[in-house]
Amino acid sequence: MAAPQAPDPDHARSREIDRQLAQAFAAAQTECTILLAGTQGAGKSTIMKQACTMKIIHHGSFTDEELAEYQQDIRSNAIDAAREMLRALEHGGPAEDRRQKLIEVFAAETLSDAMAKAIHELWTDSDVVDWFLRHAPETILTDNASYFLEHILRIAAPGYVPTQDDVLRARVSNAQTTEMTFAMTRYTFKVVDIGGQPTESRKWLHYFERRYYHAHFLRSIGRLQEGQIAKTHLFLLVELAQDRLRESRASFESLINSRYFRRTTIVLFLNKFDLFRDHLNKAPMDQHFPDYTAGPDSVKAVKYILWRFMQLNHAKLAIYPQYVKPFSISFAHDRSITNAIEMDIGNNSVRSVLNTIKETILRGALRDSGVALL
Ligand SMILES: Nc1nc2c(ncn2[C@@H]2O[C@H](COP(=O)(O)OP(=O)(O)OP(=O)(O)O)[C@@H](O)[C@H]2O)c(=O)[nH]1
Ligand SMILES: [Mg+2]
């Protein structure tokens, strides 16, 4: 009797490759990959968090467990904010006695009750407030430092559970890539946050390289037709911080003119509009852009910045600008906005941006994108 034949490893491998190709082909029909790119701190994870609350859209918020997970990070954000305030006050600020007192309690690493009280006392001191106003722009605190200082007593209280707004304002830099998938009608959106460490930006190109070769391979063996590949959209986040615009413009220019993105839809998010608007009076635009002459009007200033970015689009890609306010919680002063365009900018949410994109895709108005069409 003939001995049973040993399984042919080549055959098994070939079947496995077939299975993977079939899977990739099926996914390519309806999957839309959104790649979040942008310099460190531009707001990629904040958009991710916002998309995450969309995922659980019916609850419209993070769960209590998810909120609680941020407690430590928010407390350390608050300590960092207080340190930043102290550093700024070192340069001739008022209330030197209270500053010294605060430095003493800062010996502890965790946010104690005494520390929170001392921070609160200093931050609400009218001389300190005036001094910060008078010494802007060199004393403008970063991002949401003033928010955490304002809420210091609540954040330090025993049993503190962060609110959704606290979580959106938390700064937790991620070096690792995170992915999230959610469905909208027949599309599956995969949002990929590649992390913004300077060395990580290389990963963007790696990521596209992999997709490029993979899709090319599929097409070359006749499994994919033009337009059937996964749609990949590059969401480029640019923070509207005047002092970081030079760096953002450089990375924008190299990315959009790279061969990988030649057929990719680019959505340019001009982010942190609320901070930009608040800083505009304290830090006039012409300090960084001498040819800008339209004064402290935030809408004109944003349009000018957008124009400067669009000038770098040598490859003439389809770029869709969006102004986004990622926080669903409204800012008190938003109500006073009367200018219709400004209203539009200030009230745009990630959800409406994604909806617009979804509709545009469904209408087929956006060019088919993705590196396989290179
Ligand atoms: N006020 C305000 N703060 C924002 C906005 N977008 C992001 N932030 C804050 O900016 C900080 C940095 O945002 P992240 O989302 O962590 O930035 P990132 O791009 O993920 O940064 P890395 O992970 O370091 O690459 C956080 O404290 C956010 O809350 C905005 O539109 N307005
Ligand atoms: Mg991040």
> Is there a single domain that holds both residue 262 and residue 130?
no
- The closest residue, in CA terms, to atom 11 on ligand 1 is 171
Q: Return all residues near 25 (Cβ < 8 A) that are at least 6 apart.
A: 218, 223, 224, 228
> Is there a single domain that holds both residue 217 and residue 327?
yes
User: Which region among 90-104, 206-220, 224-238, 342-356 has the lowest average model confidence (pLDDT)?
Assistant: 342-356
> Is there a single domain that holds both residue 146 and residue 231?
no
> Is there a single domain that holds both residue 203 and residue 318?
yes
Q: Which ligand is nearest to the CA of 38?
A: 1
Q: Please say whether the beta carbons of 234 and 265 come within 8 A.
A: yes
> Is there a single domain that holds both residue 156 and residue 275?
no
Q: Residues at the annotated binding site?
A: 45, 193-197, 271-274
> Is there a single domain that holds both residue 202 and residue 239?
yes
Higher pLDDT, 346 or 276: 276
Q: Is residue 6 part of a domain?
A: no
Final residue of a structural domain among 161, 194, 211 = 161
In this prediction, residues 341-360 reach a mean pLDDT of: 49
> Is there a single domain that holds both residue 204 and residue 330?
yes
In degrees rounded to 5, what are phi and psi of residue 2? -70, 140
Give the pLDDT confidence score for residue 152 in this predicted structure: 97
Give the pLDDT confidence score for residue 122 in this predicted structure: 92
Rounded Cα distance, 248 and 241, in Å? 10
Which of 45, 251, 333, 348 most suits a substitution to test ligand 1, by most atoms within 8 Å of the C-beta?
45
Q: How many angstroms is it from 373 CA to the middle of ligand 1? A: 33
> Is there a single domain that holds both residue 182 and residue 154?
no
Atom of ligand 1 nearest to the CA of 147: 1
> Is there a single domain that holds both residue 123 and residue 89?
yes
Tell whether the model's pLDDT for residue 100 goes beyond 70. Answer: yes
Rounded Cα distance, 40 and 239, in Å? 10
Beta bridge partner(s), residue 265: 233
Q: Return all residues near 248 (Cβ < 8 A) that are at least 6 apart.
A: 38, 39, 42, 238, 239
Give the pLDDT confidence score for residue 59 in this predicted structure: 53
Q: How many angstroms is it from 41 CA to the middle of ligand 2? A: 7
> Is there a single domain that holds both residue 87 and residue 155?
yes
Q: Is residue 307 part of a domain?
A: yes
Q: How many angstroms is it from 65 CA to the middle of ligand 1? A: 21
Give the pLDDT confidence score for residue 323 in this predicted structure: 62
In this prediction, residues 292-307 reach a mean pLDDT of: 88
Q: Is residue 357 part of a domain?
A: yes
Tell whether the model's pLDDT for residue 201 goes beyond 70. Answer: no
Tell whether the model's pLDDT for residue 344 goes beyond 70. Answer: no
Q: How many angstroms is it from 235 CA to the middle of ligand 1? A: 15
> Is there a single domain that holds both residue 311 and residue 232?
yes
Rounded Cα distance, 134 and 307, in Å? 31
Atom of ligand 1 nearest to the CA of 200: 25
Quote the longest CA-to-CA distance of the chain: 99
Give the pLDDT confidence score for residue 354 in this predicted structure: 60
Atom of ligand 1 nearest to the CA of 196: 25
Q: How many angstroms is it from 43 CA to the middle of ligand 2? A: 7
Domain range for residue 121? 71-161
Q: Which of 24-33, 200-209, 236-245, 344-353 has the highest mean pLDDT?
A: 236-245
Q: Residues at the annotated binding site for GTP?
A: 193-197, 271-274
Rounded to two decimals, the pTM is 0.77
In this prediction, residues 232-241 reach a mean pLDDT of: 78
> Is there a single domain that holds both residue 270 and residue 210?
yes
pLDDT, tens only, 302-334: 889 989 999 999 988 878 777 654 443 333 333
Number of domains in the chain: 2
pLDDT, tens only, 24-56: 656 555 667 777 888 888 888 887 887 776 654
Final residue of a structural domain among 131, 161, 191 = 161
Final residue of a structural domain among 134, 161, 188 = 161
Q: Which ligand is nearest to the CA of 141?
A: 1
Give the pLDDT confidence score for residue 193 in this predicted structure: 82
Rounded Cα distance, 232 and 297, in Å? 35
Q: Which of 104-118, 324-338, 358-372 has the highest mean pLDDT?
A: 104-118
ipTM, two decimals: 0.99
pLDDT averaged over every residue in the chain? 74
In one letter, which amino acid is 265?
Answer: T
Q: Please say whether the beta carbons of 275 and 240 come within 8 A.
A: yes
In this prediction, residues 226-235 reach a mean pLDDT of: 55
Q: Is residue 17 part of a domain?
A: no
Residue that has been written with the tokens 């590649």 in this structure: 194
Atom of ligand 1 nearest to the CA of 38: 19
Q: Is residue 15 part of a domain?
A: no
Hey, what are 95's tokens?
């209330």
Residues having CB within 6 Å of any atom of ligand 1: 38, 40-46, 143-144, 168-171, 173-174, 195-196, 271-272, 274-275, 325-326
Atom of ligand 1 nearest to the CA of 326: 31
Tell whether the model's pLDDT for residue 250 goes beyond 90. Answer: no
Q: Is residue 170 part of a domain?
A: no
Reported as a pLDDT band with limits 50, 70 and 90, residue 127 is: very high
